[in-house]
Amino acid sequence: MDSGRITHVGPDAPREGAEVVEAHDRAVVPGFVNLHTHVAMHPLRGIADDRELAGFLETLFAVDARRTEADVEAGARAGIAEMLLGGTTSFLDLYYLEDAVARAVDDLGIRGFLGWAVLDPELTTQRGKPLDNARAFIARWKESARVRPLVAPQGVYVCNRETWLGARELAERSGTLVHYHLSETRREVYEHETKTGRRPVDWLEEIGFLGPGQVAAHAVWLTSHEIRCLARCRVGIAHCASSNMKLASGGVAPVVELRAAGAPVGLGTDSVASNNSLSMLREIHLAGLAQKNHRWDASALGAQLLLDLATIEGARALGWEAEIGSLEVGKRADFSLVRLDHPTLWPARPEAIVSHLAYSASDEAIDSVYVDGTPVVEGRRLRRGDASRIRTELETAADSLWAARPN
């Protein structure tokens, strides 16, 4: 490695002129790209379990209204710590008070694509207008080495035409991505269709919003026409299998059809409030099982493709496939070292390693993690954060938020 980039891969790397990472007893895996989460919600893990999305959101919105920048930062630091220890080196986020998340990104050394949540002004608890807040956030962080700021309209249920088009204009002027929720539940789709006469994807295309440089989260309830539309408009898709199943969104996201149409698809965990975990290994496993079972096809989403969805395909959805997502000369040195002697990888035969990663490996098998060639986890210990302090600050934040939850 040199200047944070990969210069050689394999046993023939030179011993002089570049930093060499020895990995004789390790599997070297590209850093995972978590394509959709709300990392600052860590104090809310388990706060609204066993409820469908409407009831879940009712609790979350009530608690969110009481959040402070300090507890958002405490949540972000805890979430980032969990992701780094699980081999995630880049993540795409959607929340507000994202300056607090950005500080946590800088402190702990992960790569964050951070979207400021935007919704109609009359529906927000934010101070000021959400689009103006997003614009100011982008301006503050656009020169950061690890933070990529962006605009993130929440979804069709809280964003009108003006808000959607304002978000697109802001992204075009600032050269950023756009991230949003899309067609997560039947209720969302049918209520929007009742209101506008159009399903969400059709409506977004009709108003002139859809286009490249966008990542839509969930995309479960889509017609064949909508699938073709998203692919034609080059919209990336964040598939969040665990969250969708836990919230009983129903159905199974058309991952195979989206990919066949040409849409880039990656994997996201969603938040610990809806998934309860930020583990990409677990997400890989469950995403594969759900598709196989639903389709009565054991070959659907094979092990190598599942690993790709968590790495290079997630990078492709972000438009960052030339920089991250695979172990190639010239790319940023984002990778993990996975212990081959961990019980979840036994017997660790070379021809089965990809299968073990997709179907059996646990986060505890990940020994070290590098971002831009810098170790951020070594021997399962954070290099740039005090885990004990992160936990204490998180528990303090959780105490006040859990006290505010409605019955």
User: In this model, does residue 25 exceed pLDDT 70?
Assistant: yes
Per DSSP, the three-state class of 232 is: helix
Q: What is the mean pLDDT of residues 68-94?
A: 98
Q: Name the band, by pLDDT with cuts 50, 70 and 90, for residue 297.
A: very high
User: In this model, does residue 274 exceed pLDDT 70?
Assistant: yes
Cα gap 33→37, rounded to integer Å: 11
Residue 15: per-residue pLDDT? 62
Cα gap 14→269, rounded to integer Å: 38
Q: Name the band, by pLDDT with cuts 50, 70 and 90, for residue 61.
A: confident
What is the crossing angle of helices 387-403 and 69-85, to 10°? 130
Q: How many CB atoms lie within 10 A of CB 226?
A: 22
Answer whether the bond into residue 264 is a cis peptide, omega within 30°.
no
The residue with tokens 């995403």 is 287
Residue 238: per-residue pLDDT? 98
Residues of the chain above pLDDT 90, percent: 87
Q: Name the band, by pLDDT with cuts 50, 70 and 90, for residue 264.
A: very high
Task: Specify whether the CB–CB gap between 17 and 2 falls below 8 A.
Answer: yes
pLDDT in tens, 321-331: 999 999 999 99
Residue 124: per-residue pLDDT? 87
pTM: 0.97
Among 43-47, 54-58, 180-184, 252-256, the minimum mean pLDDT is found in: 54-58
Q: How many CB atoms lie within 10 A of CB 212?
A: 11
Residue 227: per-residue pLDDT? 98
Per DSSP, the three-state class of 170 is: helix
pLDDT in tens, 31-46: 999 999 999 999 999 9
Chain mean pLDDT for the chain: 95
**Residue 56 vs residue 16, higher pLDDT:** 56
Residue ranges in 156-240 assigned as alpha helix (H)? 161-174, 186-196, 200-206, 224-232
Q: What is the mean pLDDT of residues 219-230?
A: 98
User: Phi-psi bin for 333: left (phi > 0), alpha (psi -120 to 50), beta?
Assistant: beta
Q: What is the mean pLDDT of residues 163-184?
A: 98
Q: Name the band, by pLDDT with cuts 50, 70 and 90, for residue 11.
A: confident
- Residue type (1 letter), 289: L
Q: Name the band, by pLDDT with cuts 50, 70 and 90, for residue 387.
A: very high
User: In this model, does residue 172 exceed pLDDT 80?
Assistant: yes
Structural tokens at position 261: 């149409």
Cα gap 299→80, rounded to integer Å: 33
Question: Who contacts 15 (Cβ-Cβ below 8 Å, separation ≥6)?
Answer: none
User: In this model, does residue 14 exceed pLDDT 80?
Assistant: no
Cα gap 71→407, rounded to integer Å: 22
Positive or negative torsion for Cα 263, 266, 267, 271: negative
User: In this model, does residue 335 exceed pLDDT 80?
Assistant: yes
Task: Specify whether the CB–CB gap between 196 and 161 falls below 8 A.
Answer: no
Question: Who contacts 132 (Cβ-Cβ below 8 Å, separation ≥6)?
Answer: none
Question: Who contacts 125 (Cβ-Cβ below 8 Å, separation ≥6)?
Answer: 64, 65
- What are the two backbone dihedrals, phi and then psi, of residue 152, each rounded to the nearest 5 degrees? -140, 85
Q: What is the mean pLDDT of residues 179-203?
A: 97
Cα gap 295→300, rounded to integer Å: 8
The residue with tokens 């790569």 is 111
Residues of the chain above pLDDT 70, percent: 99
- What are the two backbone dihedrals, phi and then psi, of residue 165, each rounded to the nearest 5 degrees? -70, -30
Structural tokens at position 74: 């405490």
Strand ranges across the sheet with 236-239: 32-37, 88-95, 111-118, 147-153, 178-182, 214-218, 236-239, 265-267
Among 4-8, 61-65, 86-90, 307-311, the minimum mean pLDDT is found in: 61-65
Q: Name the band, by pLDDT with cuts 50, 70 and 90, for residue 65.
A: confident
| Domain boundaries along the sequence of the chain | 32-324
Structural tokens at position 405: 């939850």
Domain 32-324 has CATH 3.30.70.270: no
